[in-house]
Amino acid sequence: MQQGTDLDRLWQAVLGDIEISMSQGNFITWFKRTALLEVGEGSVVIGVPNVFFKTQLENKYSTTVIDALKRNNLPTESVVYKTHTFTSTTQAEENVPKPEATQQQTLMSAVPNQSNSLSHSYRRGINAEYTFDSFVVGSGNEIAYAACRAVSVQPGDKYNPLFLYGGVGIGKTHLIQAVGNAVLMENPRARVVYVTSEQFLQEFVDAIRFKKISDFAGFYRNADVLIVDDIQFIAGKDKVQEEFFHTFNALRQAKKQIILSSDKPPKDISSLEERLRSRFVGGVTIDMQTPDFETRCAIIKSKAESRSFNLDNDVVEYLSNYIQTNIRELEGGLNKILAVCEMRSVEPSLSLATSVLGALNTRPKHLSAKQIIETCAKHFQIPVSDVLSPRRDKDIVAPRQFAMYLLRSELKLSFPKIAQELGRKDHTTAIHSINKIEQELHIDPELREIITAIKEQLYA
Ligand code: ADP
Ligand code: MG
């Protein structure tokens, strides 16, 4: 085994190699606070400041490190990263950029706003335009809206935590920020903090790195309302989950409001610590769904009005049919149309809209019951004859129920007619099946995905 200074010298040589293989920012961030602790047969032990460095180096830089070791005559099969306390005399520590000094260094380009990321003020990250007033309430979001309203009136009181989940672009961020805006409107001194879970993670890493963990923890634990968007991203990251757990408990105990959003319900977030999961469902969990046609029309109208455009109904309906699931995309489509109108100084019209966005894949007028049944069978890879048969095997019943549901939702067929299409005499099964699917759609994102997938095939 080699002695400290030898190892240091050796490591400096290896670092020299590593340095030229990556950006300066990455090098300073990940390698300046490392040390070679041991060299064995085909393996080395590298000291790192904490477990974040360890995982980052293991996941992203292991080949870089092994290659550089090999180039310096240290044939290495495996590298072990070990958390290590750097004393002020070690080489590694001397090279650590001080937070103040980093401003002029390349680190800044790697991690923007490094210098002030820990001295943030409250009332952060909230878009003033995301208010309750600018939010259109309709099917799919009305329960979430009501809960957010209630929370904004008496934060920390009833629904704590408030957990909203749903697909992309359906208004989660808008609604949870609306709570923040409303609370601030009522009390401009309220400490309302909005953060995405990724930001939270990044700040946590920085806090550890610059030894500001108590500032970090204190900041979040002092919030009156803490809003964490897209919480699903902390799953699988142990240290930050632990930190969030403590933040959560501190706030909950002090009766401060916590609001969380996610793309799926807590039970479906994999690698989420059990104790967090149970806390997330300890308040109220609300599912947000794609707004229906009428609500989408109202959203388009309100967005157009806010930009002083008056849209004819045919344009509104065209757009609302054109983009059905993601309101962000819907807004994007509208913005494209309005931008062209502004450029050409013309009024928005259906022909302009279709020329900007393309002809609409309109719902084929001739969509038939047969097509729906066939598409469901095909989706589940079973023969149509099975769907129409009297058999009650599980793998046949589900596709049949989906077919019934879609015959109702897409063709508005009567229950007896639906039963008849599926070769059944009694229509009560159709009523039960459709009710069951309608109810489960509210709570089961997988079911929604299946329906969306089948519809996509139907209207493709
Ligand atoms: P998510 O966070 O669910 O992905 P966002 O909150 O970012 O979605 O919403 C995407 C865009 O759609 C935002 O610009 C938002 O203002 C708008 N939006 C979504 N739902 C509504 C609604 N019901 N009324 C008005 N705007 C909405
Ligand atoms: Mg969002």
The token duo for 456 is: 């996509």
Among 328, 329, 334, which residue has the most ligand 1 atoms within 8 Å of its CB, making it the best to mutate?
328
CA 330 to ligand 1: nearest atom: 12
Question: Could you give the CA distance from residue 270 to residue 237 in angstroms, rounded to a whole number?
Answer: 11
CA 79 to ligand 1 center in whole angstroms: 46
| Ligand 1 within 6 A of CB of 170 | yes
State residue 47's pLDDT score: 93
State residue 93's pLDDT score: 38
| Ligand 1 within 6 A of CB of 136 | yes
Question: Could you give the CA distance from residue 194 to residue 258 in angstroms, rounded to a whole number?
Answer: 10
Residues 204 and 240: beta-carbon distance below 8 Å:
yes
Question: Could you give the CA distance from residue 293 to residue 255 in angstroms, rounded to a whole number?
Answer: 39
CA 168 to ligand 2 center in whole angstroms: 7
State residue 365's pLDDT score: 53
* Residue-averaged pLDDT of the chain: 85
Residue nearest to atom 19 of ligand 1 (CA): 171
Question: Could you give the CA distance from residue 278 to residue 283 in angstroms, rounded to a whole number?
Answer: 10
| Ligand 1 within 6 A of CB of 331 | yes
Pick the more confident residue, 112 or 432: 432
Among 327, 329, 331, which residue has the most ligand 1 atoms within 8 Å of its CB, making it the best to mutate?
327
258 CB-near residues (< 8 Å, 6+ apart)? 160, 161, 162, 225, 226, 228, 248, 251, 252, 283
Per-residue pLDDT, averaged over 139-144, amounts to: 92
Per-residue pLDDT, averaged over 423-432, amounts to: 91
Q: Give the number of other Cβ atoms within 10 Å of residue 103's Cβ.
A: 13
Residue 109 has pLDDT above 70, yes or no: no
Per-position b or e across 69-81, b if 16+ CB within 10 A of its CB: beebebebeebeb
Question: Could you give the CA distance from residue 62 to residue 30 in angstroms, rounded to a whole number?
Answer: 12
User: What percentage of the chain has pLDDT greater than the value 90?
Assistant: 54
Residue nearest to atom 25 of ligand 1 (CA): 135
Read off the pLDDT band of 123 (50, 70, 90): low
Using only C-alpha atoms, the chain has a radius of gyration, in whole angstroms, of 28
CA 135 to ligand 2 center in whole angstroms: 14
Ligand number nearest to the C-alpha of 232? 2
The values of phi and psi at residue 90, to 5°, are -70, 150
Question: Could you give the CA distance from residue 301 to residue 173 in angstroms, rounded to a whole number?
Answer: 20
State residue 119's pLDDT score: 32
How open is the CA angle 331-326-264, to the nearest 5 degrees?
140
Question: Could you give the CA distance from residue 75 to residue 85 in angstroms, rounded to a whole number?
Answer: 26
What is the per-residue pLDDT across 200-231, written as a single tens digit (0 to 9) for each?
999 999 999 889 999 999 999 999 999 999 99
Length of the chain: 460
State residue 98's pLDDT score: 37
Least confident of 40-54, 88-102, 112-126, 438-452: 88-102
